[in-house]
Structure formats: C-alpha cells, structure tokens
Amino acid sequence: MSVDSVFEKCRADGRPALIGYLPVGFPSVEGSITAMKVLVDSGVDIVEIGVPYSDPVMDGPVIQDAAVRALAAGVHLTDIFTAAREVSDAGAGALVMTYWNPVLRYGVERFAADLAAAGGAGLITPDLIPDEAGDWIAAADAHDLDKVFLVAPSSTPERLSAVTARCRGFVYATAVMGVTGARASVGEAADALVSRTREHTDLPVCVGLGVSTGDQAAEVGRYADGVIVGSALVRCLTEADSEEQGLEALGALARELADGVRRSRA
C-alpha cells in the first residue's frame, strides 16, 4: 500500500498513523520478516524496514545492538527487497530506513529500481539531507518512490522550508535532539516542531524518537499525523528469551500502540 493511501485511510478514520521500525535480519532474515508481519497484524500501518549498518550515528544502544547482531548473522542489503515485498503483500506501507552508504554502494538508480519492483514505498534517510540528495531525488521521482527527510527541533525556518519542499510521503520530525531510544517523556519540543513544520508544508508530519508506550502514542497522536516507534519494538525482540516470546511481546506492544493512536483524538 502506498504511503499516501495509508494517510488517506487514517484521515478517514480520524486518527494518526502508526509507523513501526524493525531492522531486517534480526534475529534472522526470515525471523525479522515474520516480526514485521506481526506488526501489520497488530495494527501498524507503515513498517519502517531498517537496513543494519556498521556505523549508525543516529541510533542509540538498542538499535545498534540489533544491527550488530543482524550483520553478524549474515544479513545483506538485498534482503531489504524481500522484506519490502512481504510487508507490502501483507497490506502495509513498506518504507525502508537506511544510512546512505549502503545505497551509494549498491548504486542509487539501481536501488530505486529494485525497491520499486519489490513493492517498496520509498526511503527514510537519516544521514542524507536534501542538499546532498540530488541523485536520490532524481531516482525516486523516476520510480515513483517516497522521499522522507528529517527535521529536528534545531531546524531553522529556512531549513524547514528547504527540507519539506523535497519530501514526498511524509515529513519525519525528530521529537528530541538525540539518538533513537525510548524516553520517559517525548517532550514539548515535538509539539512545537510539528506546528512549525506545518507552516511550510501540507504533507503529513510524523513524530519519532522516544515513543515507547500506548499513552505516549496517544499523546503524540493528538498533534502529529503519525507516530513512529522503533527502539521499544526492537527491544521486544532483542531482550526475549526465545523467538516465540519475542513475537508475543512485540504483538502486545504493537496492539497497545495501535490502541494509543486510536484513542488519541477520541
């Protein structure tokens, strides 16, 4: 399902979208795809399929740990296409989140073509700003893919304007200044950032970094068009004693979050 139609459906339901991140390849490629399908079955609207990377400067310890273990277990970049196909077939939006070098190495145009062929919706690029993204923007436009760039509490009005003008799909608003990871409170900066971002774009604005509970999802969902959850979901898998137990915990948390976004505007 395209990201556009996901937000259309959510708007019709009068609720924000729920976006869940998992890295491909942990605990195995197959196991990670099963986990992504559990997310979809539990009410996640868009799966953010993470590419494990050796030097993830935007990630906190939980996602770093999963990436290290996925790489040790032998995950390859091309596994992302299998995951995108399966997530898309399961009825959710399949967005890939990747640091830039793996795409650069694969070939930007070739990556865009193969992602589109696999049913992927587009890319979220945490270390690629639009100013450096000429090749990606051209390839994404040629293959009808979404381009999700990030804005931050530190972003100036000039940056918000420049970044949102190059986004397609949605705008990723990082709730706090920092790396990924669950936080006790998402903070007021996120609300203000969403308002400031909306002054520059009609695209949906989704909030990530720090959300881990249904209550936080409900709170963020009051002002954001989408709630993005990563580390809290990943931790369900990395801290589980067995794969079954991990999937159970993952499904339970995803349902709690799905319930959170559904009561956010009730």
Residue 122's nearest CA partner among 12, 234, 19, 237 is 19
User: Per CB under 8 A, which region of 152-160, 216-224, 237-245, 255-263 contacts other proteins?
Assistant: 152-160
60 binds other proteins (CB under 8 A): yes
* Alpha-carbon distances of 72 from 4, 65, 156, 265, rounded to whole Å: 36, 11, 40, 43
In the complex, minimum distance from the CB of residue 86 to other proteins, in angstroms, rounded to a whole number: 20
Phi and psi dihedrals of 77, rounded to 5? -55, -40
Closer of 183 and 235 to other proteins (Cβ): 183
Q: Quote the DSSP letter at residue 168.
A: B
Would you call the peptide bond into 27 cis, given omega within 30 degrees of 0 as the criterion?
A: yes
Closer of 109 and 248 to other proteins (Cβ): 109
Q: Which of 13, 45, 48, 248 is catalytic?
A: 48
57 binds other proteins (CB under 8 A): yes
Residue 7's nearest CA partner among 145, 205, 190, 192 is 205
Q: Quote the DSSP letter at residue 124.
A: E
105 binds other proteins (CB under 8 A): yes
CA distance 26 to 217: 25
Q: Can you tell me which of 138, 142, 192, 252 binds other proteins, judged by CB under 8 A?
A: 138
Closer of 154 and 245 to other proteins (Cβ): 154
189 binds other proteins (CB under 8 A): no
Active site includes 79? no
CB 181, CB 231: distance < 8 Å: yes
In the complex, minimum distance from the CB of residue 187 to other proteins, in angstroms, rounded to a whole number: 13
**Interface positions, 155-184, toward other proteins (CB under 8 A):** 155-156, 159, 163, 174, 177-179
CA distance 78 to 72: 16
Q: Which of 4, 30, 59, 131 is catalytic?
A: 59
Produce one character per residue of 181-191: b if its CB has 16 or more CB atoms within 10 Å, e if not: bbbeebbebbb
In the complex, minimum distance from the CB of residue 69 to other proteins, in angstroms, rounded to a whole number: 13
**Interface positions, 63-102, toward other proteins (CB under 8 A):** 64, 68, 71, 76-77, 100-102
Helices (H) and strands (E) counted in the chain, each on its own, are 12, 9
In the complex, minimum distance from the CB of residue 115 to other proteins, in angstroms, rounded to a whole number: 15
In the complex, minimum distance from the CB of residue 176 to other proteins, in angstroms, rounded to a whole number: 8
Residue 31's nearest CA partner among 81, 102, 79 is 79
Active site includes 219? no
Catalytic residues: 48, 59
The footprint of other proteins (CB under 8 A) covers 53-58, 60, 64, 68, 71, 76-77, 100-106, 108-109, 126-129, 131-132, 134-135, 137-138, 149-156, 159, 163, 174, 177-179
